[in-house]
Chains A and B, each alone.
Chain A
Amino acid sequence: MLLIHCPYCEETLPEAEFAHAGQAHVVRPENPSAQSDEEWENFLFIRSNVKGPHYERWRHVHGCGRFFNAVRDTVSDRFLTTYKAGAPRPDLETLTGEVK
């Protein structure tokens, strides 16, 4: 079973307690009305399809309920790290994938 570290519960827990919640660090425009159709479409629908380390949102839905971010390798399904929502994007160079 895939194990995921919840940065809020500070424990490494089974995937069955978590839900995937899409790509991370997608910033909502401050003034949506000022967006062109193309920019708005980009914000709403256009996502990268990464092969390798991918920044993702996850939710500890059957636990504390919190959303957090993760870097997951889409090839190996390995979680390189997880971090609290709002925390800066970790530098991929520094990630070892060792469970904290």
Chain B
Amino acid sequence: MSETISALNNAGYSGLVRIDETGLQGMITLRGDLSLTTVKKVATTASGATFPGQRQITVSDTGALAWMSPDELLILCPYEEVSDRLAKMTKTLGNTNALAVDVSDARAIFAISGEDARDVMAKLCPVDLHPEVFKPGEIRRTRLAQIAAAIWMEDDDNFRLICFRSVAQYAYDVLKVAAAAGSAAGFHAAQDPV
């Protein structure tokens, strides 16, 4: 059998911040009426995480659950467990008008880590990343320069980013430019409460 590899095969770069394509990540998209008990149950069971509020992401030991739109959730789980978890989801959903799909191989995922992470991301995304506005637990679907992306923070110095696999190289390159040595903006550091 052929070896499955992620878009950039764990490419990494160290500049103002550390940028890593973090490899294969299981991702399941679930669309349906998010007010339905069955849909909620399927999502929380598959991700192991609690049900997120609007624009929120909740994390568990083995995955995460993200609010993507009023009728869409994203379940993160280990890559090897996708088929199992998906099968269970589809079984539980039964005739419910909802759709769960494995999108793991359609996406790429990056980690952006370091003290300047907010500055680097703010160069590329039209999002207010002030520490009092954008905090761990929130997810934003937005743009990364010219492409669609979803971003959230694991903790105060660590971003995660998901984009389409087809534009993974662009995402990586543009992140490297934003994190190039000598390009520090020092904006968010200056904003920190004393």
Interface residues of A (CB under 8 A from B): 1, 8-11, 13-14, 16-17, 62-66
**Stretch in B74-82, B86-94, B141-149 touching the partner:** B141-149
Place the interface of chain B in its size category: 10 to 19
Interface residues of B (CB under 8 A from A): 54-55, 68-70, 72, 126-127, 140-143, 148
Contacts of B55 in A (CB 8 A): 9, 11
Distance in angstroms from B189 CB to nearest chain A CB is 23
Contacts of B142 in A (CB 8 A): 13, 17, 62-63
In the bound complex, do residue B70 and residue A62 qualify as a contact, i.e. CB atoms below 8 Å apart? Answer: no
Instruction: Offer 24 A-B interface pairs, CB within 8 angstroms, sorted by A.
Output: A1-B126, A8-B69, A8-B70, A9-B54, A9-B55, A10-B54, A11-B55, A13-B126, A14-B127, A16-B143, A17-B126, A17-B142, A62-B141, A62-B148, A63-B69, A63-B141, A63-B142, A64-B68, A64-B69, A64-B72, A64-B141, A65-B69, A65-B72, A66-B70
In the bound complex, do residue B126 and residue A14 qualify as a contact, i.e. CB atoms below 8 Å apart? Answer: yes
Contacts of A16 in B (CB 8 A): 126, 143
Distance in angstroms from B174 CB to nearest chain A CB is 15
Contacts of B69 in A (CB 8 A): 8-9, 63-66
Complex-state Cα separation, A63 to B68, whole angstroms: 8
Output the residue of B68, B140, B141 with the most chain A CB within 10 A: B141
Complex-state Cα separation, A9 to B71, whole angstroms: 11
Contacts of B143 in A (CB 8 A): 16-17, 62
Complex-state Cα separation, A16 to B72, whole angstroms: 22
Distance in angstroms from A61 CB to nearest chain B CB is 8
Complex-state Cα separation, A9 to B69, whole angstroms: 7
Contacts of B54 in A (CB 8 A): 9-10
